[in-house]
């Protein structure tokens, strides 16, 4: 029997695709939720921004970004402001033309201001708040030449206490993009998996199993235990005991955990143990999924919801499952009313989970035969 339930709330002012590991919605210190940027049905970057107010269950427009962007990062700073960095502007293109620009949103005034640009243009990167309030930006994609892209090894740090300056820090051993990153209890940062470019072709890349750990005290990276399965378009979720759960994703048409070519999304899950620097296999999810969202619940469980299945990613999933880290087991959760992928999900202050936006259908499965069919719907999950 499934647990929890979903209830519809107010629609976004516009349909939106929120593709990217870190370009979704964020909860502000006053409890509201901000969603800024993203893409329209043709995957052209947008500048619109909106605020969700839990007390009324409604969205309202706020000042748009100064630069339209997609595949950017959105990070809440220690003082309550929001940093948006990188991404790309305009329609999709290969090779990508990423941005170095960054801007900051003030929830009190409702306005954006430009801040210093990054040293490296990048999109599909990660951004993680460090214990001292600085923001670590890692990897991503950039243009290599007129017909190829490169996955970046570079990392840099944004310091709001020093006037919003950026400074270079240690490089990764392996270039990567589309990777999740999480801060660990000891203040270090884990990056796990992701995607790296391997040829000039638009699809020339492979998923990674290699993981690295950043020490903010020394500004350096060190290898740590690798994933059992290479994966990209997956999720990392911190657990109450300090370990980290990795769920789903795809091997990019690569080699699956059994050694055979596997073009489908992964149902496997793994758990990282920071003290040992190793991963252990967890029980498989009931089905494979990529481009999903995994959100920690107030109970200590993890809600894994939505997403899609490789290789076509042609329809969003409505199903959801719950992971219990104590019993190391999965159970069914109530499914969303709208199946979606490339969406945003964020926990509210009262423990409910807000999901919004996303792609319902893509590619040949859409009426247009080649564009994304998006949604502006939002819904709230209440666990029980």
| Domain chopping of the chain, boundaries | 20-224
Closest C-alpha to 74, from 120, 128, 119, 30? 128
- The predicted model gives 32-41 an average pLDDT of 96
The dotted CATH code for 20-224 is 2.120.10.80
**359 contacts 366 by C-beta, under 8 angstroms:** no
Query: Does 174 have pLDDT greater than 70?
Result: yes
Per-residue pLDDT tens digits for 55-86: 999 999 999 999 999 999 999 999 999 999 99
Per-residue pLDDT tens digits for 216-269: 999 999 999 999 999 999 999 999 999 999 999 997 655 454 555 567 899 999
The whole-number pLDDT of residue 361 equals 86
- The predicted model gives 8-13 an average pLDDT of 98
* Rounded CA separation 213/138 (Å): 11
* Rounded CA separation 58/371 (Å): 28
Percent of the chain scoring above 70 in pLDDT: 93
3-state secondary structure at position 162: helix
Average pLDDT of the chain, as a whole number: 93
- Give me 317's structure tokens: 């999933």
The whole-number pLDDT of residue 40 equals 94
Q: What values do phi and psi take at 365, rounded to 5?
A: -80, -5
pTM: 0.94
b/e for 44-78, b at 16 or more Cβ within 10 A? ebbbbbbbbebeeeebeebeebebbbbbbbbbbbe
Closest C-alpha to 123, from 99, 90, 147, 92? 99
- The predicted model gives 115-144 an average pLDDT of 97
Query: Does 368 have pLDDT greater than 70?
Result: no
Per-residue pLDDT tens digits for 270-323: 999 999 999 999 999 999 999 999 999 999 999 999 999 877 678 899 999 999
- Give me 323's structure tokens: 């992971």
- The predicted model gives 178-194 an average pLDDT of 97
CA dihedral angle for residue 17, residue 20, residue 21, residue 22, rounded to 10 degrees: -80
SS (H, E, C) 47-87: CCEEEEECCCCEEEEECCCCCCEECCEEEECCCCCEEEECC
Residue with tokens 């481009």: 291
13-17, 157-161, 171-175, 263-267, range with the lowest pLDDT: 263-267
């Amino acid at each position: 029997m499934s647990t929890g339930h979903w209830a519809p709330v107010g629609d976004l002012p516009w349909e939106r695709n929120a593709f990217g590991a870190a370009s979704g919605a964020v909860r502000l210190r006053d409890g509201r939720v901000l969603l800024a940027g993203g893409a329209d049905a043709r995957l052209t970057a947008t500048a619109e921004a909106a605020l969700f107010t839990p007390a009324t269950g409604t969205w309202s427009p706020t000042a748009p970004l100064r630069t339209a962007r997609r595949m950017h990062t959105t990070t809440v700073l220690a003082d309550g402001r929001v940093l948006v960095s990188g991404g790309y502007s305009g329609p999709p293109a290969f090779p990508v033309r990423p941005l170095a620009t960054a801007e900051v949103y003030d929830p009190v005034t409702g306005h954006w201001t430009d801040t210093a640009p990054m040293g490296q243009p990048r999109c599909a990167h990660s951004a993680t708040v460090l214990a001292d309030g600085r923001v670590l930006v890692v990897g991503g994609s950039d243009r290599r030449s007129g017909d190829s892209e490169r996955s970046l090894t570079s990392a840099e740090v944004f310091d709001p206490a020093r006037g919003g300056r950026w400074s270079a820090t240690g490089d990764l051993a392996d270039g990567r993009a589309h990777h999740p990153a999480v801060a660990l209890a000891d203040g270090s940062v884990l990056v796990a998996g992701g995607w790296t470019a391997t040829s000039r072709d638009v699809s020339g890349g492979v998923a990674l199993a290699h993981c690295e750990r950043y020490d903010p005290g020394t500004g350096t990276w060190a290898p740590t235990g690798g994933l059992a399965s290479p994966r990209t378009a997956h999720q990392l979720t911190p657990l109450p005991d300090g370990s980290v759960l990795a769920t789903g994703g795809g091997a990019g048409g690569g080699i699956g955990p059994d050694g055979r070519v596997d073009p489908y999304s992964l149902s496997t899950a793994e758990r990282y143990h920071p003290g040992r620097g190793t991963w252990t296999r967890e029980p498989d999810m009931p089905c494979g999924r990529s481009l999903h969202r995994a959100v920690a619940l107030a109970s200590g469980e993890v809600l894994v919801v939505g997403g899609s299945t490789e290789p076509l990613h042609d329809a969003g999933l409505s199903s959801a499952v719950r992971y219990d880290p104590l019993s190391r087991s999965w159970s069914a959760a109530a499914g969303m009313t709208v199946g979606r992928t490339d969406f945003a999900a964020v926990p509210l202050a009262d423990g409910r989970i807000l999901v919004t936006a996303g792609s319902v259908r893509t590619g040949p499965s859409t009426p247009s035969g080649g564009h994304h069919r998006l949604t502006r719907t939002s819904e709230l999950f209440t666990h029980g």
